[in-house]
Amino acid sequence: MGSTWGAPSVLEIVSLALEEDIGPGDITTRACVEEKQEARGKFLAREQLVLAGTSLLPLIYGLRGGVHELNIRKRSGDLCEDNETIADVFGSARTLLECERVALNFMQQLSGVATAARQFARAVEGTKCRVLDTRKTTPGMRVLEKLATDAGGITNHRMGLYDAILIKNNHIAAAGGIRQAIRRVREFGMPVSVEVRTREEMEHALEAGAERMLLDNLTPAEAADWIKEIDGRAVVELSGGITLENVRAYAEAGADFVSSGAVTHSARAMDISFRLELL
C-alpha cells in the first residue's frame, strides 16, 4: 500500500488526537507535577498480541516536545508476549503523562486490528487464497487501520473510492444493469471488479469482460460451485458473513481472495499499559 506511518495524513491524525485529549492543557498533571520534573516511562504488552502503532510514538512526543530519549523495542508486525516491553521513554514527566492516553489509544486499537489480521492470514495458510481488508474502518482512521492490517499480514484492497473500480449492486441498479455499468467504467482504463448476487448476473459480468468477480453472501459450498463455473475466466473474491471461524472453508472453496470487514470494524483493543517512574 502507498501510505506509511510517517505520511502527512498520519501526522494530521496524531495532531488531532493530541488536541482532542489535551486541549489547552492537562490541568491535573500541571497541578500535581512540577514543571522541571523528569521521568521514565515504559509501555508493556499485557497479553500476547501482534503489535501496531509504535511508529506513532516519535510523532506524538515530537509534537509535544520535552522527550530526551525514546527506545522502541518492538516494531509494527512483531509478536509481543505478556509483560514484554514495547518501548521506553525518558523526558518531561508532564509530557509523558499528557501523552499517555493518546499513545495507548493508538497502540491498543491498532494492535487489535493487527492481531485480528494475523489470525485471518494464518487461517488460510496453505491455500492460494489471500485475505483482503475493506473500507469498513473507523472514520478518519482508515490509513492507520490499513497500516495495521498490513502489519498483521493481510492485503489492502483499496484505500477508498478513488483508487479501484468496484461495481456494486446499487451501481448496477443506477446504471440500468451490469453490462451498462461495465461499459461506462471502461473509459477509466482500470481493471473492472463486479459484485454479483445471482448466476445470471455472474454470466452477464463474464460476457461483458469483468476481470474480477465479487461473490457475495454465498455458503462455502455454493461458492465452490460458482467458482467451478467461472473456471478461471475472472479472479474471484468472496465476501459477506466471512468470519475467523469459517474463512478457511471459503478459502478452500477455491477463491483467490476473501474479504472481511470484521478485521477492522470488530477488532478488540489489546491490553497495553504504561508505567511511569519519577527521577
Residues with catalytic function: 101, 136, 168, 195, 216
Long-range Cβ contacts of 22-28 (<8 Å, 24+ apart): 22/64, 22/98, 22/102, 26/94, 26/97, 26/98
Residues 200 and 98: their CA atoms lie apart, in Å, by: 59
Residues 119 and 128: their CA atoms lie apart, in Å, by: 17
Q: 192 to each of 60, 110, 132, 261, how far by Cα in Å?
A: 40, 31, 17, 21
* DSSP type of residue 273: E
| Count of other CB atoms within 10 angstroms of residue 266 | 13
Say which residue the cell 443506477 belongs to: 174
Full DSSP string of 93-159: HHHHHHHHHHHHHHHHHHHHHHHHHHHHHHHTTTSS-EEE--S---TT-HHHHHHHHHHHT-B---S
- Cα dihedral sign, 195-200-203-204: negative
- Cβ proximity of 186 and 169 under 8 Å: no
Q: Cβ-count burial of 143 within 10 angstroms (0-12 exposed, 13-18 middle, 19+ buried)? A: buried
- Cβ proximity of 147 and 181 under 8 Å: no
- Cα dihedral sign, 93-98-102-105: positive
